[in-house]
Amino acid sequence: MNTWVPVLAVALSLLCGSVSGAFASPRQGQSTDSSQSKKQSAKKKSSAKRKAKKKKRRKLSRRVRRITRAFVASSDLKPMARQLLQDRSRAAYAGVEAYARRHAGTDEAALAWLALGYAHIVDHDYAKAVSALKRAQPRAGELADYVDYFLAMAYGAQGDSAGVVKALEKFDSNYPDSLFAVDAAVIDANALVAQKQPQDAITVLQPHRRPVRSDVELALGRAYIAAGQTAQGADILHRLYYAMPLAPEADAANSDLQKLPPTSVPIPTFDERKMRANSLLTARHYDDAVREYQALLPSAPEKERPAIQLDLGIALHHDSKDSDAKKLLQSIPGADTEVNAERVYELMEIARAADDQDQILKLVAEQRQEAPASSWFDRGLLLAGNACLLKRDYDKAIDFYRELDQRFPDSPRAHYAHWKAAWLNLRQNRADEAKKEIEEQISRYPGSPEVPAALYWRARMAEQDHDPGKAHAYYQKLTDRFSGYYYAGLARQRLKQLGSVADPPPDPLLEKIPPATLPPALGQDQDTPDDVRVGKALLLQNGGFVTFAVRELQAAAAPQGPATWATDKIVSLYQDAGQYNLAIELVKHIAPNYFSYDLSAMPRSYWQALFPRPYWTELKNESLRNRLDPFLVAALIRQESEFNPGAVSHANAWGLMQLLPHVGRTLARQQRVRHFSTPLLLVPNMNLRLGTRYFRELLDHYNGNVEYALAAYNAGTDRVQDWVSNGNFKDFPEFVESIPFTETREYVQAIVRNATVYRQLYGTP
């Protein structure tokens, strides 16, 4: 068995595209102290300490200067390396190799050979990988750890354990800060075991056990067994299998344990087996969880049996075995109040899947009787309210939502339930009740996500009451506090219609709404540290190694905590690499409340990262060809795929505009696309061509109404037709707020608001 194959697989998963653009050159650090007191204080330092610090700075700067020179010299390698690591075509290989030979004996040639070596590893051509990487070694410089690590990977994949050991000799001492320190130790240890040196393998692995990694534990357990310390090795593998069941090495550990004498293998405790089953259930590995719970149940202590049966029932339900789940959950004896409340809730979930409203109502009544204080009754009330909402039994839905809010005011679901009751009362034309409850929403839950809707609809009611001052105040609060939200855009339109009005008296209700959390200090000029890791990222981007470049920047910033210079560079790197989805997610992570911000709250570069315009020429042309607003199409793509052309969803939707294969085939026939196949949906031009045509058809079906078309794009035309036919909506915002599927409602609102931000950022398409 090739024991380093799992590590090779993990490393190959880091394959990434290249980057265009350059980081700013690191500044050479010089003292900026100017005051006399600082000078006098500096003179008091020992001469030896000053000299040591100066020497260290000079040495570090020389290393960075060399990297910077290599970065500048290799800038023309970047597009070729990117192409090589993206498609690894014969032409791409030839181009990068020609570059390497043309620049023989230089640092940039070494970078080209490194890219070639890695590409050959990905293509499983390990002999060519070894040849290329050996050519990279003499001038590898600060990327020598990459060369040696990839070389070890190539040797290991060929089964050359001696080559691995030689390549990684003194890796720890030569590269103590390498990103590959732990990965190299695992490969080295596996090779040492193959070379009959298990004790050396143990010595290599022991320093890398914290934090715990499954690949380290697997290699260490095997090394102990190979060294004759079977009990210790078996204990490590045993703990790996039961405590880390989601790790790819868990099954390998169990397989190894099966080969050992039974007397040397620890007997798993009930708690260990339960821990493994629970981990699988939590991670949604339902099929595996079912097997574990079924095996565990016969040995469960009497007191534990109801909970185990409940978990098995949950796993069966999520594994699409509702008949078995229902049968089991209906016959769990001896459960305590909380377990029984959850049992009933799971039966409600099964009834919802079967669209059995009568059963849902019966079960929620049982919860009310048996467990009125349980959080599972809280969840049951919400489920029952939603079920009634879908059946258009609005009064019953209101009753359930209101009961949830009154019984569980501190529940994380209370604010949503309160709003649904308020909204349904408004839709039922109970204006006084709705007005009271909408104001309660703002007063009791001022930080809830429903507040923008509450502000907008309370302002609309004020308009109907001929109170323009109050309406203006609420609209203004909405636009000021929730600048980028869907309802803020609607409020701006209403403010224009209202025109100027007399200032109303202060409304204490509006003062309850907390201010927006300000974004971090993004985009501010910060000194990039004179750090070798930053320099390595410079080279790695030219070599096509986006993921590794990002990891080097993150490691450079780690000692000082979050650093805006690193964030700026990583965002830029992702954009230059065409990985717009990763740039979007990064900015979302560091500024999660960005839709509350005015455009002036963050630098324009961050807004452009959040709302990019890749494939703009094609997107604009296809949009205009189909009489679509390009910004609306960009907003839709941002919501669907975040501009990842290779996206394939769990629902089997493909590409930028997330088209289902059968939809793509139909559209391709209409557009007379010859030799269409599903993978063509991952080609941006083709996806844009078909996707814009599809959206145009939806708009035509709904007479140009954007909200209806967007809802149909997400939920299907049949559902939208049902909602529209039975809704009697006064206007489009009322339709949007009434969409019973939360995902679809938020989807429509997000795309409309995204399009607004695009227009604010870029003006005319």
Q: Does 341 have pLDDT greater than 70?
A: yes
CATH tag for 5-23+47-264 (out of 1.25.40.10, 3.40.30.20, 3.30.70.20, 3.90.960.10): 1.25.40.10
Integer-rounded Cα Rg, in Å, for the chain is 31
> Which pLDDT does position 525 carry in this prediction?
60
Q: Which two tokens stand for residue 245?
A: 């069941």
With CA atoms as reference, report the closest residue to 760 among 600, 542, 614. Answer: 600
> Which pLDDT does position 19 carry in this prediction?
32
> Which pLDDT does position 559 carry in this prediction?
81
Look up tokens 């700067």; give the residue: 61
- One-letter amino acid for residue 674 of the chain: R
pLDDT tens sequence across 529-550: 778 899 999 899 999 999 999 9
Lowest mean pLDDT among 106-120, 123-137, 567-581: 567-581
Distance of CA 482 to the CA centre of its chain: 24
Name the band, by pLDDT with cuts 50, 70 and 90, for residue 60. Answer: low
Contact between residue 589 and residue 653 where contact means Cβ atoms under 8 Å apart: no
Q: Does 448 have pLDDT greater than 60?
A: yes
Q: What is the mean pLDDT of residues 397-417?
A: 98
- Residues of the chain with pLDDT > 90, as a percent, come to 84
Count of residues making up the chain: 765
Per CATH, the number for 616-762 is: 1.10.530.10
pLDDT tens sequence across 570-593: 999 999 999 999 999 999 999 999
Phi, psi of 179 (to 5 degrees): -60, -25
Q: Does 498 have pLDDT greater than 90?
A: yes
pLDDT tens sequence across 721-745: 999 999 999 999 999 999 999 999 9
More confident residue, 37 or 687: 687
Annotated catalytic sites, by residue? Answer: 640
Q: What is the rounded CA–CA span in Å between residue 286 and residue 314?
A: 9
pTM: 0.88
Name the band, by pLDDT with cuts 50, 70 and 90, for residue 27. Answer: very low
Q: What is the rounded CA–CA span in Å between residue 438 and residue 435?
A: 5
Which segments within 299-430 are labelled E, that is strand? none
Q: Does 219 have pLDDT greater than 90?
A: yes
Q: Does 43 have pLDDT greater than 70?
A: no
> Distance between the two ends of the chain, CA-based, in angstroms?
58
65 backbone φψ class: left, alpha, beta (φ>0; ψ -120 to 50): alpha
Lowest mean pLDDT among 108-112, 419-423, 589-593: 589-593
Q: Does 3 have pLDDT greater than 80?
A: no
> Which pLDDT does position 399 carry in this prediction?
98
Name the band, by pLDDT with cuts 50, 70 and 90, for residue 526. Answer: low
Question: Half-sphere exposure (CA, 13 Å, Cβ side) for 506?
Answer: 3
Q: What is the mean pLDDT of residues 227-251?
A: 97
Q: What is the mean pLDDT of residues 474-502?
A: 95
Mean pLDDT of the chain: 91
Distance of CA 435 to the CA centre of its chain: 39
> Which pLDDT does position 505 carry in this prediction?
86
Q: Does 410 have pLDDT greater than 90?
A: yes
> Which pLDDT does position 105 carry in this prediction?
95
Hey, how many other C-beta atoms are within 10 angstroms of the C-beta on 563? 18
Contact between residue 240 and residue 250 where contact means Cβ atoms under 8 Å apart: yes
With CA atoms as reference, report the closest residue to 624 among 683, 703, 692. Answer: 692
- Is the sign of the CA dihedral 192, 194, 195, 196 positive or negative? positive
Identify the burial level of 118 via C-beta atoms within 10 angstroms of its C-beta, where 0-12 means exposed, 13-18 middle and 19 or more buried.
buried
Instruction: Give the residue extent of every domain in the chain.
Output: 5-23+47-264, 616-762
Q: Does 26 have pLDDT greater than 90?
A: no
Q: What is the mean pLDDT of residues 118-125?
A: 98
> Which pLDDT does position 520 carry in this prediction?
73
Residues near 752 by Cβ (< 8 Å), separated by ≥ 6? 486, 489, 635, 706, 707, 710
